[in-house]
Structure 1
Amino acid sequence: MAKDKKPPPTNDGPAWEQLRRLFQVGSPEFVEVLRQRVSATTLAAFAETWYTDTRVEARRLLFAYLERPFNAPRHEPLVKRLFKFADNAGDDAVMARFLVGLDRLVRRKRGTATRWDPRTRSHETVEVIYTPPDTTLSRDDRAYAGAWFTQNREKFTKGRFLFSVPTRQYLRRRAWRYFRRLGKKHPDRYVPAVCTALKFYTDADVPDALALLDNWGLVHVLFHHSPALESRPTGWFVSPTGTIQQLQPEPMYRQLWLRSPEPIFDLLVNAKCRPVCLWAAKMLRQHFPQRIAQVSLDQLLDWLVSENAVLNDLAIEALERIGGLEAVPVEKWLKLIESARPDLLDRICEMVARAVKPDQVSFTDAVRLAMQRPVPLARLGMAFLQGKKPATTAEVQSIFALREAQADPLRADLVKWATTVLAERSDFSPQWVLEFLDGRHEDVRDIGWEWLQSDSRARDDVGVWQRMLESPYDNIRLRLVGILEDRAKERDGLAKFSMEHVRFLWATVLLNITRGSRAKPFVVRQIMDRVATHPDEAGELLPIIAVALRSCRGPEFRAGLSGVASFVERNPTRRPLVEAVFPELSWN
């Protein structure tokens, strides 16, 4: 006995009445609520009511619905009836949206297949282009009943569309047929109508060459007569003798496009799809070069920072040819180069360097440019800084920001320039050197150390050395050990340094487990020399030596052991202290 079938769900009732109220008031929520309805019968009856409603709000909602993907379950009758109404009414605006929406319904893939070659009598693997078969939404109303579909709607509809694949291919051919007939019967309407459609394509519609060919109507509009392509009922293919790189503008009804450059120029500026923009740019170069030449300087500068990469390239080409760039305010140039595409910065910065004189750029702006991460910007900033001198306290302080210059290849040169400029100032402060010795980049600290060694005003300043003893950086601490070794040979060589800071330096070097192996024996000797001359500090210094004695490294162990033995021999009364600090040592 057959099971009773569950009756299909219906959208009649309070929910449908609420939807109709949203429609009457023109609420933006209407489209999303409508897409949730899954009753094909009710939706089909609503199609005529919607299309024949002449209100502006109804038209706006219709456009919004058609600009959404055709993947709302059981909307086949609604979509098909709206399509027929628009086709019969000669509705260019609605058919433009259908052309784009139906183009998006077929997306082929590349794969491989094994075929038998009768000539070689063997199987061979060949590349094939196919349309995935599992991309059609179910037309069974019962599939959308229950809570599961409501909770997993997005997952269920992802990658699936209305209509079977053959029906989708037929509908997109029908959509293009409308515009093909429009060009024959109403040529004045053709270009405006297809331009409306072309503006709805986006880069997401053409992520690769195969996806470009999957847009049946788009390719007809732009490349209908291209010898590199051939059309079949299932889609566009590259011809046996052509390649996708050979595509050039070969539009349907070329003579209609050549009537005026303005529609093409409008596509160049406003289209959201890169192939459309490239097509428009090539058409203008081939047939209307004077139209590009009429673009104003201000508009070209705006194109430089446009999100449209084709406009960026056109602007660069035009600006490199024309004159008058000197009249562009410096502030505008600075704003443009900080917003431009990274791959265009070299050419833009070259234009700026030719058009802007260094004395037109303020000291602060030049430093700000030099601080940028892109090398062309930093190089331009460094060129503007050459020959400049800081005139105010604020400008002097801005120089220290170059320690954090983000362009790694230029940071060392920028810091060297900064140290040279600062060293020449009459109000030089030795503390300025510390700003570079405390920099977080090693190359900055290296240049700061060179400055310290070459400038006696900083080298002989006690305050600088006292601050350096607190440095957290290994390359500075290890160099300081060598300096202390030299100073220790002088009479009262270490007297000028705070012993608290010196002890801190000794401890940090000995406790460093990754670096400083060459400096540690010198530190041990310096500590033991200090203990020998100041036995009262043994309680503070001997624990530091204990680190060396317990080290597994031979030089440190021998240096520490020798120093401790000599200390006990000279100060026998300190032996209990030594035994407490080094309980592992035995004494004969």
Structure 2
Amino acid sequence: MAGRDWLLIQELLERGEEEFVDRLRGFHDAEALAGFAERWYSNASTRSRELLLAYLDRPLNAYRHEPLVKRLFKLAEKARDDEVMARFLVAFDRSVRRVEMDRVRNRYRSFRTEEEFERQKAAWQDEGADHLYGGISARTAYQPDVYQLQGVWREHVLAVPAGGTMPRAEWGRAAVHRGKLDRFRLFSVSTRRYLRRRAWRYFRRIGKTEWSRYVAGISGALAIYEDADVNDGLALLDNWGLVHALFHHSDVLQANPRGWLPREGRSLSELKPAPAFPEAWENESGRLLDLLRQARCRPVRRWAMGMLDRNPDAVLAQGLEALIGFLDSLDANVIAWAAGILERSGAAAGLEPAQWLALARKAGPDALPVLAGLLRRFLEPSRLTTDEAAELASSHSLPVARYGYDALNARAITPGDIPALLPVLDAACGPLRPELLDWLGTTLRALGYDVDRILLLLDSRHADARAAGLAWFRSAPEAGNDIELWRRLAESPHDDVRLALAQVLDRHAAEGGVDGRATDISRALDADRLRFLWAAILLNIHRGGRAKPGVVEQVATRLGRHPGDAPQLLPLLAIALRSLRTTERNAALVAVVKLTEKSPAAAAAVEAAFPELKWG
């Protein structure tokens, strides 16, 4: 079985399958893996290289893979392979993690005389022993009395927890089968410490003679570290190579073979960029900007910003586009840094409105307030077109939307600008939206009544915009005689608009205006439109309860005056007559009774349509 698995693994490598890495990590024949290292490393295919890097990105916890890892490391070191060595630097840094723990240390001494005993006891007390035990004791009948002393010290230390080294015995294989390998790492703790020092030493040797190559190689490693690798201050210091690369010359830290520690009385909050080989970074603003863009680790990004702050002119020399691209970063600190340089230098004044809008479209939540501040300082509202100002006003960010609204408010809106105001209807900023809609309604009214202007509000998909339109519809005298408006409203897909129209019709019916006198409104709503409107309201099970009795009366009135419409309108009365709601059912019964009393022709149609009704 193992032989077939091994053949499959090699075949997966030749085919470049993604499954190869998982299969390889699940293979535990150390001798076969040792022989495989050189064959894999020397494979010249691009895909084989990608799989090698993917393997090294995984934790060093694949059972019995020590020979493979060790030989790959030596091969890459000998080949001066900076890319693979960068992966090893990160992998070995991740393999050692200290924790704070209490450790008990015991010491024992025996003395012939009481004077020696008391002298040592006093000395251990001065050394800070937590407990001292002892006294005179007779060992045997043939030996003189002795004084025995035990000292106990309790120390708070930083140490790697015991039991985290990958086992090699059979019980380790059982742990593999149980899937309990997360807490284990290849190699002993001392070997892991040595390997991470050796990986850094590889880059240190390059930095002494080849600055450009050092910067390129170590940048590749710095871009790989993740926030999970530095989730607290101690974890940061456990990354031996990372700390050397960023803070080698810092007076805040001190190094020993077991790891970095803050100096007495110093804090990690005092850390500032102090890299190994600082001269190598002097003319590498482009590389630092790339690192700031690619880094997955917050301390690396902060370090890169600190290095770039030493020469802001060099940053600007890389081009304005390179700098403003950081305004859409997911890191609020990077956004603030880029905005600070743009503000202090005044370089943002050269951006065109289209560039500002492009930034606003792709900027994240943290970037938008910063962007709004830059907009107010560097972009005159007069440079914006109406549609650009409306787009900014519709932003979900309050500072950006407020800037766009102020720009709109400062403009003299003409009828030709109305199509550009459409984005305001979809304004996404909740706190500002009522004010924006009020401004839009006021602006449209000031331009004069027009069916397309009022429909801009009444056809909106937003209820609050339609509410503003309905207020205009009810109050504008022109709306009451606009035949085209009534036709359009009768076909509206929105319940609130249909209900409002039905209420107005109800009022007209009470005044004898609908289908009685030949008013403009009655001519506007032909039979088909009226049926559509009435059916939409009566069939709505969620809204319109108060309007439905009025609609029933309108249907009955129409039937009384046009008995020939009975086949089309009686099904509408049937909806209300068979409703589960008492108010609708009673309204339909009253309407049917009145109808049969006033119109003999309609009465015959009603009796035929509703045989279940008993007429006295």
Do both share a fold (TM > 0.5)? yes
Closer, same or farther: CA 14–172 of 1 in aligned 2, 3 Å: closer
Query: Quick one: which amino acid aligns to residue 300 of structure 2?
Result: V
Counterpart in the other structure of 1:399: 421
Counterpart in the other structure of 1:443: 464
Closer, same or farther: CA 587–84 of 1 in aligned 2, 3 Å: closer
| Match 1:277 to one of 281, 289, 301 | 301
Superposed displacement of residue 301, structure 1: 2.4
Say whether residues 1:492 and 2:513 are aligned partners.
Answer: yes
Say whether residues 1:507 and 2:497 are aligned partners.
Answer: no
Say whether residues 1:175 and 2:198 are aligned partners.
Answer: yes
Unpaired segments of 5 or more residues in structure 1? 1-5, 112-117, 120-127
Aligned ranges 1:345-424 → 2 under 5 Å: 345-386=368-409, 387-389=411-413, 396-423=418-445
Closer, same or farther: CA 269–196 of 1 in aligned 2, 3 Å: closer
Closer, same or farther: CA 18–411 of 1 in aligned 2, 3 Å: closer
Residue 9 of structure 2 contacts residue 23 of structure 2 at CA under 8 Å; is this kept in 1?
Answer: no
Closer, same or farther: CA 98–138 of 1 in aligned 2, 3 Å: same
Closer, same or farther: CA 12–390 of 1 in aligned 2, 3 Å: same
Closer, same or farther: CA 138–507 of 1 in aligned 2, 3 Å: farther
Q: Give the distance between the partners of 1:81 and 1:266, measured in 2 at CA.
A: 31
Q: Identity of paired residues, percent?
A: 34
Superposed displacement of residue 268, structure 1: 5.3
Counterpart in the other structure of 1:80: 70
Superposed displacement of residue 278, structure 1: 0.6
Closer, same or farther: CA 174–322 of 1 in aligned 2, 3 Å: closer
Q: Give the distance between the partners of 1:347 and 1:443, measured in 2 at CA.
A: 30
Q: Give the distance between the partners of 1:512 and 1:300, measured in 2 at CA.
A: 56
Counterpart in the other structure of 1:344: 367
Residue 173 of structure 1 contacts residue 216 of structure 1 at CA under 8 Å; is this kept in 2?
Answer: yes
Closer, same or farther: CA 78–248 of 1 in aligned 2, 3 Å: same
Superposed displacement of residue 317, structure 1: 0.9
RMSD of the TM alignment (CA)?
A: 5.3
Deviations along 1:521-557, whole A, 9 cap, x unmatched?
Answer: 3223333333444444455444433433434444334
Q: Give the distance between the partners of 2:329 and 2:590, measured in 1 at CA.
A: 73
Superposed displacement of residue 59, structure 1: 13
Say whether residues 1:326 and 2:316 are aligned partners.
Answer: no
Closer, same or farther: CA 243–459 of 1 in aligned 2, 3 Å: farther
| 1:206 match: secondary structure | helix
Range with bigger deviation, 539-548 or 432-441: 539-548
Closer, same or farther: CA 359–521 of 1 in aligned 2, 3 Å: same
Closer, same or farther: CA 305–58 of 1 in aligned 2, 3 Å: closer
Superposed displacement of residue 248, structure 1: 1.8
Counterpart in the other structure of 1:478: 499
Range with bigger deviation, 219-228 or 558-567: 219-228
| 2:224 match: secondary structure | coil
Residue 511 of structure 1 contacts residue 547 of structure 1 at CA under 8 Å; is this kept in 2?
Answer: yes
Q: Give the distance between the partners of 2:81 and 2:594, measured in 1 at CA.
A: 105
Query: Quick one: which amino acid aligns to residue 567 of structure 1?
Result: L
Aligned ranges 1:182-331 → 2 under 5 Å: 192=215, 195-196=218-219, 198-203=221-226, 205-206=228-229, 208-209=231-232, 211-222=235-246, 246=269, 248-249=271-272, 251=274, 256-257=277-278, 261-262=282-283, 266-267=287-288, 269-271=290-292, 272=295, 273-282=297-306, 285=309, 297-305=320-328, 310-323=333-346, 325-331=348-354
Closer, same or farther: CA 131–262 of 1 in aligned 2, 3 Å: farther
Q: Give the distance between the partners of 2:85 and 2:556, measured in 1 at CA.
A: 93
Deviations along 1:108-137, whole A, 9 cap, x unmatched?
Answer: 8999xxxxxx99xxxxxxxx9986968849
Aligned ranges 1:44-63 → 2 under 5 Å: 44=34
Superposed displacement of residue 95, structure 1: 4.6
Range with bigger deviation, 81-90 or 375-384: 81-90
Closer, same or farther: CA 564–165 of 1 in aligned 2, 3 Å: farther
Query: Quick one: which amino acid aligns to residue 341 of structure 1?
Result: G
Query: Quick one: which amino acid aligns to residue 99 of structure 1?
Result: L
Q: TM-score, normalised by structure 2?
A: 0.69
Closer, same or farther: CA 445–58 of 1 in aligned 2, 3 Å: closer
Give the number of aligned pairs: 547
Range with bigger deviation, 534-543 or 131-140: 131-140
| 1:342 match: secondary structure | coil
Closer, same or farther: CA 138–157 of 1 in aligned 2, 3 Å: farther
Counterpart in the other structure of 2:588: 560
| Match 2:481 to one of 460, 465, 470 | 460
Q: Give the distance between the partners of 2:539 and 2:5, measured in 1 at CA.
A: 77
Q: Give the distance between the partners of 2:231 and 2:12, measured in 1 at CA.
A: 43
Residue 373 of structure 1 contacts residue 405 of structure 1 at CA under 8 Å; is this kept in 2?
Answer: yes
Deviations along 1:374-426, whole A, 9 cap, x unmatched?
Answer: 4444444333333153575xx54443454344444444544554455555558
Deviations along 1:466-506, whole A, 9 cap, x unmatched?
Answer: 22122222211221222112212334344333233223323
Q: Give the distance between the partners of 1:184 and 1:431, measured in 2 at CA.
A: 71
Counterpart in the other structure of 1:100: 90
Counterpart in the other structure of 2:575: 547
Superposed displacement of residue 371, structure 1: 4.3
Superposed displacement of residue 184, structure 1: 11
Residue 98 of structure 2 contacts residue 235 of structure 2 at CA under 8 Å; is this kept in 1?
Answer: yes
Q: Give the distance between the partners of 1:550 and 1:61, measured in 2 at CA.
A: 72
Unpaired segments of 5 or more residues in structure 2? 102-129, 132-157, 516-521
Superposed displacement of residue 465, structure 1: 0.9
Q: Give the distance between the partners of 2:12 and 2:535, measured in 1 at CA.
A: 79
Deviations along 1:117-164, whole A, 9 cap, x unmatched?
Answer: x99xxxxxxxx9986968849798x989xxxx9xx9xx9799588624
Q: Give the distance between the partners of 1:135 and 1:517, measured in 2 at CA.
A: 74
Q: TM-score, normalised by structure 1?
A: 0.72
Q: Give the distance between the partners of 1:425 and 1:364, measured in 2 at CA.
A: 18
Superposed displacement of residue 446, structure 1: 1.0
Closer, same or farther: CA 240–584 of 1 in aligned 2, 3 Å: farther
Superposed displacement of residue 211, structure 1: 5.0
Residue 405 of structure 1 contacts residue 411 of structure 1 at CA under 8 Å; is this kept in 2?
Answer: yes
